[in-house]
Amino acid sequence: MVKFTKQAHILHLHATSDSHQTSENLTFSSIQTPSKAIIIPVTNENTPSKTTERTPELPAPPAICRIGVAFLGVIVALSALPWMYYALGHFGGFAWGFFGFELLTVLAGAFAVLLGLGKFKQGWAIGVTAIAGSILVTLVFGLYVDFVMARKTDFPDLYPLAKNTLMGRAAIIASLFALASIAVFARNKKSFSYIIKASMCALPIIAVAAMMRTNIGPGAWLNNSLDAGSGSGALQAVVGLTLGLFFIILISAAGHLLIRAYECGRTAPAHAQ
């Protein structure tokens, strides 16, 4: 046996020589032939083997999330069937664009059912989020653009159905996002503390916006102060800047806390950083 270091660039063997050099990882056996030497590499038994650590699998989403996603998938798929029927010829011809978007809605609902039944094990939450985003895209470019904006005046009898479908799918989209988030937060209980803090930051924004929308209490005073016709310029500027700064700070804090909640859900409690 003849040992060589890995740094050797030129190997020259003499038939009559029998030299030995130390090596850390490789051992070469030399077989002499009349014309040349054949060097066969053999791994050293003392070389430590590398062990690869497998990343632990994330826990399965809660059953309530899976059932909810499957149920919503069925509902959203059924909501597209009437509009696919109308797109075949009710609008004076085959509305192929409208039909295609509604068909995509059916496919998104079918994938939601498969996710709910556990057919896809990896990336469950991101899969539900992608389905919700797909339904949102088809809702905007299909039902809203292709009917509400383009055909509402020509077919007023279908507008109530379109309005209810829009509101229903918007609620389904929000519910899918919520179920995907719950599935992530459930992996690590630390997420819920950040959710509570984020909600506390968001509640004042919702309250002020609701009062301004309904024009009651402080909301009426804010509306009056921000009204260019009734309020003074200085008061309008002060109220506008203060209210804007108030909203920006709370929205930023709520967003940061929500991101932290998602970060906690990236790993199970035993592996959380």
Domain boundaries, the chain: 1-47, 58-186, 190-273
Token readout for 218 is 């402080």
CA separation for the pair 226, 86 (Å, rounded)? 46
User: Does residue 257 register a pLDDT over 80?
Assistant: yes
Alpha-helix runs per DSSP H in the chain: 63-89, 96-116, 124-138, 159-185, 190-214, 218-226, 233-264
95 within 8 A of 87, measured Cβ to Cβ? yes
pLDDT (average), residues 256-272: 73
Whole-number percent of the chain with pLDDT over 90: 28
Res 77: pLDDT? 95
pLDDT in tens, 120-168: 877 888 899 899 999 999 999 998 888 888 787 788 888 899 999 999 9
Q: 23 pLDDT band (50/70/90 cuts)?
A: very low
CA separation for the pair 173, 134 (Å, rounded)? 9
Specify the pTM. Answer: 0.63
Nearest alpha-carbon partner for 70 in 139, 123, 122, 128: 128
- Amino acid identity of residue 89, one-letter, is G
CA separation for the pair 91, 88 (Å, rounded)? 8
Residue 119, burial from CB neighbour count under 10 angstroms (0-12, 13-18, 19+):
exposed
